[in-house]
Amino acid sequence: MASWHGESSTSRLPRSLQALTGDKGFLSKARLSKYDEKRNDPTVADALSGLSPYLHFGHLAPQRAAIEAAKHKSVHKVRPTGLEG
């Protein structure tokens, strides 16, 4: 039987949402701050979103990723493209 003792609240989320919003997820402050300048450099692992497998296999909708990223637009200088308003 699995024990939930000592696990963070994000560990109960589906893996696709953990990859997006978890402590080490793409929308964490440390990773999202690097994304604008380093997203095309595969040698900087923390700058990549890591969402490709979740998007590819349909575990995460592109719209959900965009909506969640838009929630962080006031924190970071880069605004998600395609989201007006």
Would you list the domain boundaries of the chain? Answer: 13-70
Q: Calculate the CA dihedral of residues 36, 41, 42, 43 and round it to 10 degrees.
A: -110
Yes or no: say if 19 and 26 are a contact pair by the CB < 8 Å rule: yes
pTM of the model: 0.63
pLDDT of 11 reads 60
Mean pLDDT by 10 residues, the chain (85 residues): 49 76 80 83 85 89 88 63 53
Euclidean distance between CA atoms 53 and 65, whole angstroms? 13
Quote the pLDDT of residue 45.
Answer: 79
